[in-house]
Each structure stands twice: as structure tokens, then as C-alpha cells.
Amino acid sequence: MKVEKVNLQFKNALLPLQPQNVQYIIIHHIASVKATPEQIHQWHITNGWSGAGYNEYITKDGNVHIFRGDNIGAHCADSKNNYNPISYGIACEGNYDIEKTMPQIQINSLLSRIRFNQLKYKNATIVPHKKLTATTCPGKYFPWEDVIANFKHIHLSFGSKNEKVKKAQLVLNEKGFNCGEADGIFGAKTKTAVINFQKANKLPIDGVINDIVWKKLNCTCE
């Protein structure tokens, strides 16, 4: 795996990310089977941006091209929310809405870069782009489950029964989001409390306790 900073000329000065504020490492595909860093840069300028919006880009040969690096990107925003100041975007070459197989060398580089960036952005949760905005990115054939299986993650939803549910219920109750009795059973009252917590913290609203909610609750995975 080769890591190189691409010499790109941005139209405006880039602003640094604040590591303590970075909540997400967002995974993308570029929705194109093949593209050079320079092509992506030009596409994004044409979109009216300062230049290439991703923080870094992994090509199918496994090489890593640093675009904005540790500066605020332009890769995840919509009419309601702008996640760019609180996220780090990693894009993968390919269109995984139509390409069914991702090269293993590219997957290996992605895993390596996620781990590298987790060391810098200790509060960040790994999410696909489509988790935060209305898009199919990083594509329906992107091997998301294989990627995320390499990292510790939380998924508690209606019907879950375990000690992690009880721990979350205790914290939700402490924070004023009433779950009722902390019995370790994820029922309707707990789901409502989670939804209210997500609304209050401007998180995606689905009533599920995932890595994002877990970290916002200041829980740990032990």
C-alpha cells in the first residue's frame, strides 16, 4: 500500500478538522468504475466546490491518495445537515452499485486506513455515507458487513435482551430520557427514549442503539 499526498490546487483555503469534534469516519464509493485523483478534483470543482471533497481516496490497486487530509471535507451534507466539519471521508474507487466484487487489496487498504484514522479521531464511528444522507453510497454491492466485522460495533434494537441494553437504559434514564425500569429488555418504551435521545442530539433517527448512539451516551463496550 502506497500513501501519497496529491498536489491539488483548491479554489479556497482549507480549514482544519478539530479531532475532538470528529464523530464519523464516513465511507464512500465514487460511483465511477475508474477515475484518477485529478479527475475527481475536476468533477468536484464543476460541482461548485473548492476541489476534491474527500479527505482521502483509495484506488483499486490499494494505493491511498490524500486529498484534503486533516482538513474539513466536502463529502457529506444535504439541505438539512452538514456533517463535513465533524467527519473524515474515505472514498473508494469503483461503482459498487453495479460492480459486485471489490478487490481484496482495496479492502485491505481500506481497513488499514480506517484503523490509522481511528487513532487520530478517537470519538469517530465508522458509517456508510447512506447512513447520514439520502444516497445509495457506497453502493449496494459494497462489502460493508465484511468491512465493519473487523471493528467492534454495537447494534441494539427492539427485542434485544442483554446487559448492554440494561446499561443503555440506565444512562438514558440518568439523562432524562425515560425508559422505565432498566430490565435489559429493549421494548417500546426504550425505543421511544432512544428516538427522543437521537432527536435531542441531532442524530439519524431510527430507534436503534448503534455505535453513534452508544458513544453519545458515553457508554463503553466492556
Q: Domain-by-domain residue ranges, the chain? A: 3-148, 155-216
pLDDT on residue 220: 55
If pLDDT is split at 50, 70 and 90, which confidence band does 222 have?
A: very low
Burial class (CB in 10 A: 0-12, 13-18, 19+), 219: middle
pLDDT of 97 strictly over 80: yes
Of 31 and 213, more confident? 31
- Among 47-51, 79-83, 202-206, whose mean pLDDT is lowest? 202-206
Closest CA to 47 of 77, 23, 21: 77
155-216, what's its fold? Muramoyl-pentapeptide Carboxypeptidase; domain 1 (1.10.101)
Give the tens place of pLDDT for each residue, 15-69.
999 999 999 999 999 999 999 999 999 999 999 999 999 999 999 999 999 999 9
- Using an 8 Å Cβ cutoff, are 190 and 172 in contact? yes
pLDDT on residue 151: 78
Q: Where are the beta strands (DSSP E) in the chain?
A: 3-5, 24-29, 56-58, 64-66, 87-92, 125-128, 155-156, 209-210
If pLDDT is split at 50, 70 and 90, which confidence band does 160 have?
A: confident
Mean of the per-residue pLDDT values of the chain: 93
Q: What is the mean pLDDT of residues 118-145?
A: 93
If pLDDT is split at 50, 70 and 90, which confidence band does 152 have?
A: low
pTM for this one?
0.72
Whether the upstream peptide bond of residue 85 has omega within 30° of 0, thus cis, is no
Identify the CATH class of 3-148.
Answer: alpha beta
